[in-house]
Amino acid sequence: SPHLFVSEIVTPMLVIHGDKDYRVPIGEALRLWYELLSRSGLPAADSGPEAGTTEHRFLYFPSESHWVLSPQHAKIWYQVVLAFLADHVLGQDAEWPETLG
């Protein structure tokens, strides 16, 4: 489980999870997210002066399972993954989906 090695994670991590995932309980994703933020020592504010300070991101789909299947959610999934990779792999300004701010 990744949370066991969170102290060794130095690369920004994108955690994506669906609440109806019966293979991997949502608690696993939340635990990893909490430990990533705790270890980084950086705030995870969505708004205000500290918005986006941490490089880790969490994308949550309440009505999806292990796979993101609905077309509108799949579109957001791809937009977020591509923006995250553009930012952290290519060093480009990320174009995040409008619905995520």
Share of the chain above pLDDT 90, in %: 47
What was the pLDDT predicted at 101? 45
Domain coverage including residue 58: 2-100
Please give the backbone phi and psi of residue 57, each rounded to the nearest 5 degrees, phi first.
-135, 150
Query: What does each C-alpha distance from 72 to 24, 43, 61, 97, 98 come to in angstroms?
Result: 22, 29, 11, 12, 13
Please give the backbone phi and psi of residue 15, each rounded to the nearest 5 degrees, phi first.
-105, 120
Share of the chain above pLDDT 70, in %: 85
Rounded CA-CA distance 77/74 in Å is: 5
Q: What is the CATH number of the domain that holds 12?
A: 3.40.50.1820
Q: What is the mean pLDDT of the chain?
A: 85
Segment 29-44, tens digit of pLDDT? 999 988 888 887 766 6
Rounded CA-CA distance 62/84 in Å is: 21
Q: What is the mean pLDDT of residues 37-61?
A: 74
Confidence bin at 45 (pLDDT 50/70/90):
low
Number of domains in the chain: 1
